[in-house]
A and B are shown apart, each in its own frame.
Chain A
Amino acid sequence: MPPIRDKFTIHSKAVVCQDVELKGDITIGAGTIVHPKATIFAIAGPIVIGSGCIIEEGAIIVNRRKEVMRIGDDNLFEIGCRVECPTIGNCNTVCTRARVHHTVRMSSYCVIGAGVLVVPTEDEMLDEYTVIYGPAGERRRWSGRGKVQEMDLRRKHGDYLRDMLPKFNRLRRGDGT
């Protein structure tokens, strides 16, 4: 296996803390926030993260496949979650300490509840508005009520963190700057 070549492309409006572990070819879009102690590993293929995502402390994002791992916009990865999905749409929430295997692809507006383990043996695409919750990983569909409020909260959260995190944490810049 060839050694992992690091190449970080971080948008100038993204906030990536110094204390973040990055490996491989990683692109981080505008307004995305990566808290300290998060980990992003592009082992095989590159990882491309869209804009407005929030990646909290202890979250691990891994790409084990050769293809590009694409993460859309406005996703929230909460504390200690582990995500290996090859594709992730927009506005998804992966709650605290949830684990999502590389056989799952996420569309948009999905919620993976706290501590849930999603490991289907065959490849699967989660429909929009899917909610997986509880210790047994039960599924439901979100009606979409409160979607606007949820996105509004996330946008404000992002704005706040972009404002506040640089005051207390040292930031990481991309290779280009």
Chain B
Amino acid sequence: MGRQATLMVGIARDGGGEQRRGAERAQSRVAWSARCASSRLNLDLDLDLDLDLDPGSFTPPWTSQSTIRGQSTLRRLDTGNKVSRRATISGPQNIILGGKTIISSGAIIRGDLRRTGPGHAVVISLGRYCLIGEGCVMRPPYKTYRGNFNYYPMKIGDHVHIGANSIVEAATIGNHVEIGKNCIIGKFTIIKDCAKIADNTVIPPNTVVPALALFAGSPGRFIEDLPESTPEMVEAQTKQYYTRFQPLPTER
């Protein structure tokens, strides 16, 4: 099953309360948007498209099905990622979605900017119950280290919501993080657990946002501490968002 250009959709996270490992730790794939120009050639769309829709009737604007790879008969796994067909995802083989993650239309995710070197490089890994808002750009940060230029992987925890039109070049984002609309998160930013970034914030490169902090402004500054109940609140919110989520019927 060494096919390239499949979006890995698996529970490949270590640690965290909701992890499920073992048998379910399998990497599965999401049916793929035709807008994904970069890897259209390598895709075997037939595998994806005959999954949970009758052929020929209706092509859903959102792809909610994903399957486990690694067996001859495809088995459906309820990882439930929803990826808009209008999202641009380059290098999907380098992206891991944790499950129940929503990628909205117009989002750009750059999995092609990978670390040089041999082997399989994960560029962007997202946890469970994440939301990538409309028009967001997710791209890994780059720098030269000991004279060698490289892009470095971006890790995003569980229950992370990123508002519309934000640009994220962070190195690490913890769990239960909320990022508002129109934010600019600079290169190699580290956002710790349960932090919140207000709308229109510009976080300069190499910033560390501490846990349970609210950041706002340009440049982003500490505003106040968040209550200790934040993880539960955010968890409930993100879960509710996912269960109530309905794609626009007009969106194709």
Q: Which A residues lie at the B interface, using CB under 8 A?
A: 17-19, 36-37, 57-58, 79-80, 96-97, 114-115, 134-135, 152-153, 156-157, 159-160, 164-165, 167-170
Q: Is the CB of B112 within 8 A of A165?
A: yes
* Selected A-B contacts with CB under 8 Å, 21 pairs: A19-B88, A57-B108, A58-B108, A79-B137, A79-B139, A79-B167, A96-B184, A114-B184, A134-B218, A153-B144, A153-B149, A156-B144, A157-B142, A160-B142, A160-B151, A164-B113, A164-B116, A168-B90, A169-B37, A169-B90, A170-B38
Residue of A nearest to B203 (CB): A114
Q: Is the CB of A159 within 8 A of B37?
A: no
Question: Which residues from chain A contact B142 at a C-beta distance below 8 Å?
Answer: 157, 160
Besides A57-B139, A152-B144, A170-B41, 6 more A-B contacts (Cβ < 8 Å) are A36-B37, A36-B88, A97-B167, A164-B112, A168-B90, A170-B37
Any A CB within 8 A of the CB of B202: yes
Which 4 A/B pairs are nearest by Cβ-Cβ distance?
Answer: A168-B112, A156-B149, A169-B38, A135-B218
Residue of B nearest to A135 (CB): B218
Question: Which residues from chain A contact B149 at a C-beta distance below 8 Å?
Answer: 153, 156-157, 159-160
Task: Tell me the chain B residues, 23-65 only, with Cβ under 8 Å from chain A.
Answer: 37-39, 41
Interface size bracket, B side: 20 to 34
Any A CB within 8 A of the CB of B153: no
Q: Is the CB of A114 within 8 A of B37?
A: no
Q: Is the CB of B218 within 8 A of A115?
A: yes
Q: Is the CB of A114 within 8 A of B114?
A: no
Q: Is the CB of B144 within 8 A of A169?
A: no
Report the Cα distance A164→B218, complex, angstroms. Answer: 33
Question: Which residues from chain A contact B90 at a C-beta distance below 8 Å?
Answer: 36, 168-169
Any A CB within 8 A of the CB of B91: yes
Report the Cα distance A80→B149, complex, angstroms. Answer: 23
Question: Which residues from chain A contact B151 at a C-beta distance below 8 Å?
Answer: 160
Question: Which residues from chain A contact B100 at a C-beta distance below 8 Å?
Answer: none
Any A CB within 8 A of the CB of B186: yes
Question: Which residues from chain A contact B82 at a C-beta distance below 8 Å?
Answer: none
Partner of B39, one of A80, A114, A168: A168
Any A CB within 8 A of the CB of B110: yes
Residue of A nearest to B114 (CB): A164
Task: Tell me the chain B residues, 104-144 only, with Cβ under 8 Å from chain A.
Answer: 108, 110-114, 116, 137, 139, 142-144
Report the Cα distance A18→B90, complex, angstroms. Answer: 12
Report the Cα distance A135→B112, complex, angstroms. Answer: 32
Least Cβ–Cβ distance between B109 and chain A, in angstroms: 10
Report the Cα distance A160→B37, complex, angstroms. Answer: 21
Question: Which residues from chain A contact B184 at a C-beta distance below 8 Å?
Answer: 96-97, 114-115
Partner of A57, one of B110, B143, B186, B219: B110
Residue of B nearest to A152 (CB): B144
Report the Cα distance A96→B108, complex, angstroms. Answer: 15
Question: Which residues from chain B contact A160 at a C-beta distance below 8 Å?
Answer: 116, 142, 149-151
